[in-house]
Amino acid sequence: MGGGYALYTMTKKKEEADLFVPRVVTTDEIFVPGHRACIGCGEALAIRHVCKALGRNVIIVNATGCSEIIASLLPQTSWCVPWIHTLFENTASVMSGIEAAYKARVRKGKIADKNVKFVGFAGDGGTLDIGLQALSGAMERGHDFLYCCFDNEAYMNTGIQRSSSTPYGAWTTTAPDGKRSIGQATWKKNMPEIAVAHKIPYVATACPSYPFDLMDKVKRGLEIEGPAYVHIFSPCPTGWRSPPELTIELGRLAVESGVFPLYEVINGEYRLNFDFADLKPVREYMKPQRRFKHLTEDIIDKIQARVVEEYLRLREKAGVKK
């Protein structure tokens, strides 16, 4: 029993070292400076981390949205790999079509198989709303791809309109607060669980505030055979009405409060990457964001209860003992 405990302790220490000890990261960039992202943009940082994990042997299909607008205004571009701009609604369709065409040409001997990887980039609007049908179809057909959703919780590129990823109670331009409204009136759609329901081999959540965790998940999703989905939390100072210097802190508070847990689902098995016996209060996460400033204590308590309930359900799925 002592030996088992010693092995457990060594394994635990190694896991902690992998998460927090500085590691060598490639200096090669395929998403380069010069783009037009807002100051403090969490999505731009997340894309940079993702691209470091992707390497150069990829084809990226990018939906209309912030990531496309900021980095591809002709005649300039920040992309250093094959990159295709497509519409909000058909990122997964274009990506799966390219993947199928590549495999067909390899099968017919037209080109050599160079193990090219196919990657989709889209925001929450282009994933949870407009593009959901195409993504669902691609997952159901079993195409070999990695799809990354950069979730800044609204249609930030077109004016901060609400999406189905906007959290309950948040202010947006199309769900404003007022005498008859608290802001967003519905709860955030759980897209990772929708992906899990498709029985695909890999689903994960990630956040640029935890860069090594994010890059590791991108690499796993890229290497696994079949559809892989990574949902990436992307703080947006412009849309969230938060100070740009707090982008990393807000990402950490979202994870530490249970608002955005970091976990993986590998072939149906859940793994909670960061677990907190005592979650930080959601009001600590909300306070720096003016999109929540109108909420009463009763509403915040309601949100707190929902967050705890869902976090406990996730811990149960991951087999974490109470």
The per-residue pLDDT for range 234-267, each reduced to its tens digit, is 999 999 999 999 999 999 999 999 999 999 999 9
Where residue 8 falls among pLDDT bands split at 50, 70, 90?
very low
Summarize pLDDT for 165-216 with one digit per residue, the tens. 999 999 999 999 999 999 999 999 999 999 999 999 999 999 999 999 999 9
Cα gap 290→287, rounded to integer Å = 7
Q: Are 267 and 220 in contact (CB under 8 A)?
A: no
Q: Which domains does the chain have, with CATH numbers?
A: 27-317 (3.40.50.970)
Where residue 24 falls among pLDDT bands split at 50, 70, 90?
confident
Q: How many CB atoms lie within 10 A of CB 102?
A: 18
Q: Are 215 and 148 in contact (CB under 8 A)?
A: no
In sign, the C-alpha dihedral spanning 6, 8, 11, 16 is negative
Summarize pLDDT for 104-145 with one digit per residue, the tens. 999 999 999 999 999 999 999 999 999 999 999 999 999 999
Find the DSSP H helices in the chain: 2-20, 42-54, 66-71, 91-107, 124, 132-141, 191-197, 211-223, 237-240, 247-256, 282-286, 297-317
Tell me what pLDDT residue 1 has: 44
Tokens of 148: 């990354």
* 35 DSSP assignment: -
